[in-house]
Amino acid sequence: MAKRRRRKMKLITKLIISFLSLMIVLVGAYFGRHAYMNYRLRMEQQQTIERQAKEKRDFIKRVAPEAQRMQAKYHVMSSITIAQAILESNWGKSQLSKEDNNLFGIKGTGANSKLFTTREYVNGQWITIKGRFKVYDSWDASIADHTRLMLEGTYYKSDNYEPVVKAQNYQEAAQALQDANYATDPNYAQKLIQIIQTYDLDQYDR
């Protein structure tokens, strides 16, 4: 009787040990998979961050040479030109910049323009409007026309952007653009300044 009881206890002990071992394996597998999934997620996020950072560096490298060429000839600061291109085109990803090479949202008329939907800040709120915007053969052409706009002004005021061209630093130039109503965004100047400082764009002014 005692032997039978001992055998039964041994069997129960083995079953308990087997059950606990299985639970340990299952729990380990669960947490191991969870840790692996978290690792993969972190890696994918890091890769996304690195890819986006590279895309931004590539965009700056692509537009900087023409911006610097325009600065050398006409004194429109490269940092301002690059920052505007970034802000207005969302790093070259906007439909207008991808399809029509218009980096700055410059409006136009006639055959070399296209009807496009955009947002503007009017009477204290953002509204959606339709307008005609210029079409260019290349981003360089867009940058050159942006410089021309700074030099020649608008049809209603030829010296509208003169303070931008004569600015002594990018902070003055950014504020001059806002004062000249280049964009309807009330925070336009601060956004340009922040972009310039974040990506050290003033290095292209030297």
User: What residues act catalytically?
Assistant: 120, 145
Amino acid, res. 174 = A
Tokens encoding 157? 């005021």
Assign 117 to helix, strand or coil.
strand
CA 64 to chain centre: 16
User: SS3 breakdown of the chain: % helix, strand, coil, rounded to 5?
Assistant: 65, 10, 25
Amino acid, res. 5 = R
Residues found in the chain: 206
Give just the sign of the alpha carbon dihedral 78, 83, 84, 85: positive
Exposure of 192 by Cβ count < 10 A (0-12 exposed, 13-18 middle, 19+ buried)?
A: buried
Amino acid, res. 117 = T
